[in-house]
Amino acid sequence: MNPPGAWRYPRVLAHRGGGTLAPENTMAGLVEGMRRGFRAIEYDVMLARDGVPVVMHDPFLGRTVAGSGNVFDYDALELAAMDAGGWFARRYDGEPVPLLVEFAQFCKAHGVWQNMEIKPAPGYEIETGGAVARIAAGMFGDEIAAGQWAAVPLLSSFSELALESAREVAPLVPRALLMSELPPDWERRAHAVDAVAIHVNHRHLTPELAQAVRAAGFGLFCYTVDEPARARELLRWGVEAFCTDRIDLIGPDFS
């Protein structure tokens, strides 16, 4: 029997907006996820050179954005003029790198719940955590004041420094600690950043660890689950939510 979970958000999130059915971390991906009924997504955020957060996974150009160099070699509006879609398919040519503010505002306007993964380029942990938290707190100030926590984004990160910085700037915006594999001191680390949830790679989870995380009072989320049978197994173990790249195989109402 699992204790009541701390997870107050949807069960299935579209990873990077639209999973692998559209270019990751773009408006086109988000719209593809929405078209398939998703109203909850995970996406990645890092800082451009001018300190403006953009929706982007890699700290360098070349894989999903045509060009070369690092994300922090460019200002946000320069990145927003680059092509983040053509690598995926020709019909997405010219799809821009989204600015966090615009992307998050679109989600909010359409009732799409957001797990913002703070993905700092190395050395930019504090600035990135603070900038993302500031935007989330500003955009969701009314919901926070009203205690409408299910509407407020969840900030997650592999970087404890970034999460500490987010807490410093916006203590009321909830945080989750991301870990590929739970280390022996996972509980201490999660408490150290006042995390409400632990996000873990499902490949490294065991039923015992799942029970321990739930028993400790944390929400439990897994990334990135692409097989329905595995998703069912994880839910049986007590996992409360997960993100998926296969939004064609695992829908928003999956159970």
DSSP H or E stretch at residue 29: helix 27-35
- Contact status: 117 vs Mg ion (CB under 5 A): yes
- Contact status: 125 vs Mg ion (CB under 5 A): no
On the CB side of 125, CA atoms within 13 Å amount to 13
Residue with the closest Cβ to ligand G3P? 223
Closest to 104 measured CA to CA, from 174, 162, 154, 161? 154
Strand partners, 201: 223
* Contact window for Mg ion (CB under 5 A) among 36-44, 98-106, 140-148, 192-200: 36-44
Which residue matches tokens 């990645």?
44
Residue count, binding to Mg ion (CB under 5 A): 2
* CB neighbours of residue 255 within 10 Å: 8
- Contact status: 226 vs ligand G3P (CB under 6 A): no
Residue count, binding to ligand G3P (CB under 6 A): 11
Which residue matches tokens 């969840």?
154
Distance of alpha carbon 243 from alpha carbon 44, whole angstroms: 13
Whose Cβ is closer to ligand G3P: residue 167's or residue 199's?
A: 199
Which residues in 106-165 contact ligand G3P (CB under 6 A)? 117, 156
- Contact status: 42 vs ligand G3P (CB under 6 A): yes
Residue 156 binding target from ligand G3P, Mg ion, none, CB below 5 to 8 Å by type: ligand G3P
Q: Does the annotation count 15 as an active-site position?
A: yes
Q: What is the end-to-end Cα distance of the chain in Å, rounded?
A: 18
Contact 208, 238 (CB under 8 A): no
- Contact status: 223 vs ligand G3P (CB under 6 A): yes
Whose Cβ is closer to ligand G3P: residue 178's or residue 195's?
A: 178
Applying CB under 6 A, among 32, 44, 125, 226 the residue interacting with ligand G3P is 44
Closest to 3 measured CA to CA, from 215, 156, 150? 215
Distance of alpha carbon 124 from alpha carbon 18, whole angstroms: 27
SS3 232: helix
Question: Can you read off the two tokens belonging to residue 99?
Answer: 């600015």
Which residues in 182-211 contact ligand G3P (CB under 6 A)? 199
Q: Does the annotation count 204 as an active-site position?
A: no
Whose Cβ is closer to ligand G3P: residue 199's or residue 214's?
A: 199
Whose Cβ is closer to ligand G3P: residue 6's or residue 243's?
A: 243
Which residues in 209-248 contact Mg ion (CB under 5 A)? none
Strand partners, 123: none
- Residues tagged active-site: 15, 57
Residues lying near Mg ion in the complex (CB under 5 A) are found at 44, 117
Residues lying near ligand G3P in the complex (CB under 6 A) are found at 15, 42, 44, 57, 117, 156, 178, 199, 223-224, 243
